[in-house]
Amino acid sequence: MEGYIQQVVEGHQLDENLYPNMLISLTEAVTNAMIHGNRYDDRKNIVVTCRRKNGHIHIFISDEGTGFDPCQLPDPTCEELLEAEGGRGVFLMKQLTDEVHFLDRGRTVQLMWKV
């Protein structure tokens, strides 16, 4: 994923400071797609696409799972979950992007950064 994000940053002549936020966000989204979306089924695909439009970089991550409702995710900052071993991926994406959208009933994550 590092190479992919480096190509995006260089190809679109983006500020290098976006690189770490883009890398962490993409890593979290792809990991969620593998684990929660495709449930480790290597017959299922994950598709990552990128486009620049209206002053934003958009990265889309799509899996072949059944989807999910992002409104039903627990808050990882609540006291009883602070010591939990996972459950921070979507929280991190929201902190490190300008916008996150869940499309196709949660099967596609759209990450956006203003450029």
pLDDT at 89: 83
Q: Which of 27, 97, 99, 39 is nearest to 68 (CA)?
A: 39
* Stronger pLDDT, 86 or 14, i.e. the higher one: 14
Would you say residue 74 has pLDDT above 70? no
Q: Which of 107, 88, 110, 111 is nearest to 44 (CA)?
A: 107
Taking only Cα atoms into account, the Rg of the chain, rounded to an integer number of angstroms, comes to 14
Structural domain of residue 43, as residue ranges? Answer: 2-114
pLDDT at 17: 95
* Domain total in the chain: 1
The SS3 call for residue 115 is: coil
pLDDT at 87: 64
pLDDT at 1: 85
Give the domain CATH number at 90: 3.30.565.10
User: What is the pTM (predicted TM-score) of this model?
Assistant: 0.90
